[in-house]
Structure 1
């Protein structure tokens, strides 16, 4: 398979060389290279050129990266592949710095997507920068922006990236409670063995639209948008929907819902100290929000505790 894929990428490598003619990729620089999140054809021409020219490739997993490079026809000797992952990033960064000081070009890739974004690479880039050396990013695939581009999030385009929420149920519930009043879209990541639990926890967002993107750019890519309260049932209806890596986009609350952000914040504070009816009455007097609306919200909050 690798030989066939390599042959198919021969025209791409030739195009990469042609496209990069005259471009400057000096030595003594760390190049942060985005790689595909699934579909190998999503590699950029510039990335192909730089990976061929680099003196060394630092990577999250040398075995995985060797397979990627082989698929593109970019075989490399083992000594030029440097393991830099979350468990050794601090010390391995110093070895990279030494190579850069010798004038080498070093490319860094994570297992998939853009390094340093919920992947190792940030500490490496910081160490190189702190050493007074240059860091150059090569843009490319990112599961975050890929999911957002298909989610159809309307509004002002702002979003917040939360990544993986805490795994303990209580901590995860607290994190989601804090996001109830977030006016921007929220992007989450989740693993297959925890997606069902996250879907259950997301029910507190009620009818808020959620886009679930699974196996992005791969053969069994699946992107669906539905109300948060229906997500758990949708997942359980088909076991295949719980397979793969997930990006979840929680759409912004509608304007009418956002108008209750401050009243709900006040209500939560009061509920922590006072009986339900007293908390509702005081929250309504303080914020001017309808008492019936706050009473219904208080019942939901108490049921979640």
Structure 2
């Protein structure tokens, strides 16, 4: 391996032709790895989701382009743009690809590029590093032995409700991305599907100056974003679904008692919190009990 150039922390070394996925910082520029810098200094071609961000990152760490171009490749790039990068790699060029922030392919473009490169026998490797999903899981205080990264929920409609209902049933800690404008709506739906008492954590601006992690029940997080709306990039981490060992007769008895005091919807919500069950499930059961008693 060659020595650092001009005292820089990175080393410029010959790279075999292929595709190199390079993880980049999600906030703090100093989170870049030395191997990532080595690849960015050495690759013959650099492709980026956002060329301006990539150029700034190289400048911050003193990595010279030395005549190399930074080629744009993002979600809206054409098949021809992907083919151009693949052809360069097939011809022996080392192609480094960086997303705007974090690990390429994790809620970022690059999947089609990596899939096609592997299918064509092109070397595909990665310089792993920062990931908002893993950072949020680490700080959440929730079980990390089994987790699912679910990404961004659909923005609206039935697809959004179905997605959230499925996430609520997962037997694993669930990691979600969401925008500040839609986080209150997401928490409302999760309270209905997963139960207000389900433990969760909301992380924002990870590794940045205003990093914040809010921990509590889904209901507490929902009420918190109502009174203090979060800004910046948000990761929501939710505890796995857990079956509560409760006799169905006890649940029915609790529903009947609550329905004597409250509207059906409110009674179902109260009992759902007590037994840690999805509100929607107990609402349907409360309707069945009400119909039975009316007959």
Contact persistence 1:44–1:140 (CA under 8 A): yes
Contact persistence 1:13–1:45 (CA under 8 A): no
Q: CA deviation at 1:291?
A: 3.3
CA–CA distance in 1 between the matches of 2:6 and 2:145? Answer: 34
The residue correspondences of 1:44-63 to structure 2 (distance < 5 A) are: 44-63=33-52
RMSD (Å), alpha carbons: 2.9
The residue correspondences of 1:219-238 to structure 2 (distance < 5 A) are: 219-238=209-228
Unaligned runs of 5+ in 2: 257-267, 269-278, 287-295
CA–CA distance in 1 between the matches of 2:29 and 2:241? Answer: 36
CA–CA distance in 1 between the matches of 2:62 and 2:200? Answer: 40
Report the count of equivalent residues: 260
Q: CA deviation at 1:186?
A: 0.7
Q: CA deviation at 1:32?
A: 0.5
CA–CA distance in 2 between the matches of 1:115 and 1:294? Answer: 48
Q: CA deviation at 1:91?
A: 2.3
Q: Counterpart in 1 of 2:27? A: 38
CA–CA distance in 1 between the matches of 2:5 and 2:215? Answer: 38
TM-score, normalised via structure 2 length: 0.79
CA separation of 1:31/1:302 partners in 2, compared to 1, >3 Å: closer, same or farther? same
CA displacement, residues 227-247 of structure 1 (integer Å, 9 cap, x when unaligned): 1012221012224xx210100
Unaligned runs of 5+ in 1: 1-9, 264-283
CA–CA distance in 1 between the matches of 2:145 and 2:92? Answer: 41
Q: Is 1:203 paired with 2:191? A: yes
CA displacement, residues 52-107 of structure 1 (integer Å, 9 cap, x when unaligned): 01111111111221122111112326752111111115322211112112221110
Contact persistence 2:19–2:89 (CA under 8 A): yes
1:178 counterpart SS class: helix
Q: Counterpart in 1 of 2:60? A: 71
Contact persistence 1:89–1:124 (CA under 8 A): no
Q: CA deviation at 1:115?
A: 0.3
CA–CA distance in 2 between the matches of 1:194 and 1:27? Answer: 44
CA–CA distance in 1 between the matches of 2:206 and 2:54? Answer: 19
Aligned match for 1:15, one of 9, 12, 21: 9
CA–CA distance in 2 between the matches of 1:236 and 1:184? Answer: 27
CA separation of 1:130/1:104 partners in 2, compared to 1, >3 Å: closer, same or farther? same
CA–CA distance in 2 between the matches of 1:174 and 1:100? Answer: 41
